[in-house]
Amino acid sequence: MSRIVNPVLTGFHADPALLRVGEYFYIANSTFEWYPGVELHRSKDLAHWEALPSPLRERRLLDMEGERSSCGVWAPCLSYGDGLFWLVYSNVRTWNAGPWKDCSNYLTTAPSIEGPWSDPVFLNCSGFDPSLFHDDDGKKWLVNMEWDYRQSADPEGPQFTGILLQEYNAVAQKLSGPVRKIFTGSPIGCVEGPHLYKRNRWYYLLTAEGGTVYQHAATVARSPSIEGPYVIHPHNPLISSRDRPELRLQKAGHASWCETADGRTYMAYLCGRPLAGTKNCVLGRETAIAELIWYEGWPYVKGEDGGRQHYPADSFEAPLQNAGTASPAPAMEQRYAFDGPAIHGDFKTLRIPADPERYSLSERPGCLRLHGGQSPVSPYGQTLLARRQTDFSFEAETCVDFTPHSFQELAGLCWRYDERNQYLLAVTHDETRGRTLTVLSMIAGRFSREEGPVLPEDGPVWLGLSVRDLSGVFRYSTDGAHFPDVGKALDSRVLSDEFDTLGFTGAFVGMFCVDTARYEAVADFKYFLYRR
């Protein structure tokens, strides 16, 4: 039997929700402040994953303007029932600005995984990570974690106070009946990310615990009644990397499972791969898969030797129908042209959709024209188009035609984690030197700049980034052939959840245009290249 190598979705793909409908498996992932919201993939074999259009790609479904970094879409849940796909998700407005978390939870449905998705239905805001369960008697139940702001004054306080259950009335499109707290978690603490399942008349509650750091875990409990009481797995946690520094896959937790057509159970879970010799997971939290085996009515992770274990494995056994396949190697090089009708789905914007008037493929045919937006630290109106970093070592390159007339106009290549931690290679203007290159850095919110070479007065400039594990360096060219380095070495560790304040995303690389004088400057990008 062939084996599939983990992770199956590399780079920032957190909080996976796994679903099977017919011959396809689906995974939905969190996207936080990146737009469009909710990343979707499908596969027939758990090895080869096809990206699908994100469901929350219209402002009527998701508007995150003004939200801080790592707010936005948390832990979506994708389910299927009554001939529809059901997607529930949080739009977290605030989470790190005081004791409160503003967590609006919504539901949208679609007859096809590619849409159209219905107008969102507001569910509740008592806590984040909503999940919808379709019982075999036709009832539908929402579960979400509860956040108690009163405990936040105590650093060790139990703000995660349990999992709430309430029935959802699909006809009235609202929650109804009493709210019940069905689970307060295990001694691991920080119970969140709930999913409900039913198997052989038992209700199983799968939750995330331990926070999204190195003590992360997935906990499972069961009950003969959906309302509980729920008894915790006798060998909890179900999966975790805690206290096992030798493992390649760290941070294992926040999971969901589904069954194959032949009755096997597979679980998707998040993990992190730190840079060698560090605790920094620059690629963010990724998605891995494990097969579960059942023993005395309880699930266990199936180890590479076929036995029961509680920690992640580097690979998992392929489904029976998938014999002979293995994880595909990603393309060595992805070159994105801007001569089509739409921007490639790998690219993301911040908080709101890419307005065609600011991200234009038609104003200069064959180019992506970016109109200058707000500064690189603004939670409003940045003009930025970026894709995930999916490899520890990679190269990125673009060619930009941009003639700035002020130091307030700049465009170029960015390598970023969030507004507080990012590197920018900018074509800009200096009053005495003319058109120049400048390296701008934000590290833990502290700004610095390093002047680069003077450029010709006009004409294209090639900008590049070469990253090798722990460090990167910008480079440039005026002829497209010779690429000297620009500036000092860049520390990769800066672009991770573990650096500075806690965050939940991962590193991105892309193109930007800023005009803090008039929002009128334009930069034309001829292509974008990502090579591992």
* Nearest C-alpha neighbor of 508 from the set 343, 385, 386: 386
pLDDT digits (tens, 9 = 90+) for 273-312: 999 999 999 999 999 999 999 999 999 999 999 999 999 9
Q: Residue 261: pLDDT above 60?
A: yes
Q: What does the block give as tokens for 161?
A: 């106070």
Edge-to-edge strand list for the sheet holding 131-134: 131-134, 140-147, 160-169, 174-183
**Worst-scoring range by mean pLDDT, 29-38, 183-192, 327-336?**
327-336
What does the chain come to in residues?
532
Nearest partner of 135 among 168, 179, 90, judged by Cα = 168
Beta-strand ranges (E) seen in 359-507 are 359-360, 368-371, 383-388, 393-401, 409-418, 421-430, 434-443, 446-454, 460-468, 471-477, 485-491
Q: Cα separation of 10 and 14, whole Å?
A: 10
Maximum Cα–Cα distance across the chain? 77
Token readout for 500 is 């500075």
Position 502: which residue type?
Answer: L
Of all residues in the chain, the percent with pLDDT exceeding 90 is 94
What would the pLDDT profile of 51-87 be if each residue is shown by its tens digit?
999 999 999 999 999 999 999 999 999 999 999 999 9
Which H or E run includes 261?
A: none
**Residues with catalytic function:** 15, 192
Query: Which domains, ranges and CATH numbers included, belong to the chain?
Result: 3-322 (2.115.10.20), 333-531 (2.60.120.200)
pLDDT, position 2: 87
Going by pLDDT thresholds of 50, 70 and 90, the confidence category of residue 98 is confident
CB proximity list for 217: less than 8 A, separation 6 or greater: 188, 208, 209, 210, 237, 238, 239, 240, 242, 252, 253
Task: Give the global pTM.
Answer: 0.96
Please report where in the chains the tokens 């005009």 appear, as a residue: 515
The tens digit of pLDDT for each residue in 177-188 reads: 999 999 999 999
Cα distance between residue 321 and residue 44, in whole Å: 9
- Give me the pLDDT at residue 199, please: 97
Instruction: Name every residue whose Cβ is closer than 8 Å to that of residue 467 and which is 6 or more positions away in sequence.
Output: 389, 392, 393, 394, 395, 415, 492
User: Tokens 């959709």 identify what position?
Assistant: 353
- Count of other CB atoms within 10 angstroms of residue 143: 26
pLDDT given at position 323: 46
H or E stretch covering 408: none
What confidence category does residue 324 fall into, taking pLDDT thresholds of 50, 70 and 90? very low
> What phi-psi label fits residue 153: left (phi over 0), alpha (psi between -120 and 50 degrees) or beta?
alpha
Q: Residue 498 and residue 505: Cα distance in Å, rounded?
A: 10
Alpha-helical regions (H) of 109-151: none
Whole-number pLDDT of residue 172: 97
Helices (H) and strands (E) in the chain, counts: 0, 40
Residues 6+ apart with CB under 8 A from 245: none
CB 512 within 8 A of CB 409: no
What is the arithmetic mean of pLDDT over 477-483?
A: 96
Residue with tokens 């045919």: 365
Residue 149 DSSP symbol: G
For every residue of 217-253, DSSP letters joined together read EEEEEEESSTT-PPEE-TT--SEE-TT-TT-SSEEEE
pLDDT at 270 exceeding the cut of 80: yes
Could you give phi then psi for residue 100, rounded to 5 degrees?
Answer: -95, 160
